[in-house]
Structure 1
Amino acid sequence: MSTEGTAGTEPPEIISEGPRREKARRGNSAGAARPQFTVLGAGLYELNTSSSSAGPTAVSASIQFTVSIHNPSARSSASFDRLAAYVDFNGEAITQPSPLPPLYLSRDGTGAVSPVLGGGGVSAGEKYGAVGLRLVVAGRVKYKAGPFHSPWRRVNARCELVMGLNKGVYGPATLLGTPDCSVDI
């Protein structure tokens, strides 16, 4: 390997793969980026606990989540349809899917939805005072960039939550840690 003629020269410029390659890697049409889901808060409206000497505490609750949906694309708008939310515990849905209204997000736009979800039979360790839940928001999305429209695509967001439980306390619920949401399209 010869080093002749390279002394004192700067390293070669990194050349971008270009927009076509990047678009193919993201997997969305119309140059759209994946929507971002964030759980902003939770309100606890009803909490019933029952314990037995034989096993862990069973918890039933009615909870309202506030979820922010952000379209990070600067080039395309996003339309969401057939959205529904439910709560999952240990891989099982513990609430019925609650329908959400259609949502339109302009370029770099943000919207929020606040589903009220209720369910029962969640086993929780009473000594820990917390329960791990997964909020699932599912539906479909399509993107529009100028005259181009993408087809409807399934979107699934799963937000891992750890909620603090305080017997007899209602109102804003304590979300322990920062909820992490993953999105599949």
Structure 2
Amino acid sequence: MAEHHLPPEPAGHHQHKSGVHADDLKHGSRGRRYNYNYYYGGGGGGGGRALCFAILILLLAAGITWLVLYVVYRPSHPTLTVTSAAVLALYNATNAAAVPGYAPTALAASFQFTLVLRNPSGRSAARYDRLAAYVAYRGEPVTAPTPMPPLAQDAGTAVEVAPVLGGGVAAPVPVSPDTAMALAADVAYGVLALRVVVLGRVRFVSGPFHRGWHSMYARCDLLVGVRKEGNGGGAGAGGVPQQAPLLGDPVCNVDM
């Protein structure tokens, strides 16, 4: 019988079938590692983001509401005006015999001013407390502080008061000699530059909102006309109380 021979197999065929090279394992394992994707949480962060967004919206709405209320109910500073003045007493009260060897210079003064305190706020009522007023000349007080009663103002209203500063019986107030000499010269000239000072505290009530107390410092600079009475250099000490015309418009400022 004739023998049949199979054709030879190509080189490398047995190697391909017999196993897997180490390089193939490394390449395959590296590819599999990079192709794996892992997901954690399952999309649970969406609820947290929604909650944060809702809180942000609430804060923004609250801020806008507060801003609108502040603009609508924001109070304005009160204003002060002096409409009339009267000199009740004004003379040199230096007593050389009070202390031997020492003669402090003093003035006795008493004035009555009509003060108009206005609340320009259209929606805020004002409350005033611990009010006191005095008169100063050349930066020195010439009357002791006079207490004033508490005041209440509705929105957009004005209150008129007429305190007697210095009291009905003028008490001597120590001043410097230069101030006493300048006052005598101004009285002789007939024009006196004075400053009316009002101290206290104020609070505003705007609908449901009650603000805290604020310190108030108000002052009015004014020129008054005076007449020399007898030899006293002014009203009082035998002189007659006199109405003092206001010269020009008083300049008033209110600080809080």
How many residues get paired? Answer: 155
Mapped contact 1:30–1:143 kept (Cα < 8 A): no
1:138 lines up with 2:181 in the alignment: no
- 1:179 counterpart residue number: 250
Query: Does structure 2 retain, via aligned residues, the 8 Å contact 1:44–1:172?
Result: yes
Q: Which residue of 2 aligns with 1:162?
A: 223
Q: Matched residue of 1:83: which SS?
A: strand
CA distance, structure 1, for counterparts of residue 190 and residue 107 of structure 2: 11
Per-residue Cα deviation, 1:75-125 (whole angstroms, up to 9, x for no partner) = 100000000001111222221110000000001011012111126554322
Larger helix fraction of residues: 2
Stretches of 4+ moved more than 4 A in 1? 119-122
Percent of residue pairs bearing the same amino acid type: 43
1:109 is matched with 157
Which TM-score applies when normalising by structure 1?
Answer: 0.75
Equivalent residues in 2 for 1:1-185 (5 A)? 20=67, 30-48=73-91, 60-118=108-166, 122=180, 123-124=182-183, 125-126=185-186, 127-168=188-229, 170-185=241-256
Structure of larger gyration radius? 2
- Alignment TM-score, normalising by the size of structure 2: 0.55
Query: Gaps (5+ residues) in structure 1?
Result: 1-18, 51-57
**Deviation, structure 1 residue 60:** 4.0
Whole-angstrom CA distance in 2 between matches of 1:135 and 1:106? 25
Q: Is the 8 A contact 2:107 2:142 kept in 1?
A: no
User: By percentage of residues, which structure has more strand?
Assistant: 1
Corresponding position of 2:235? none
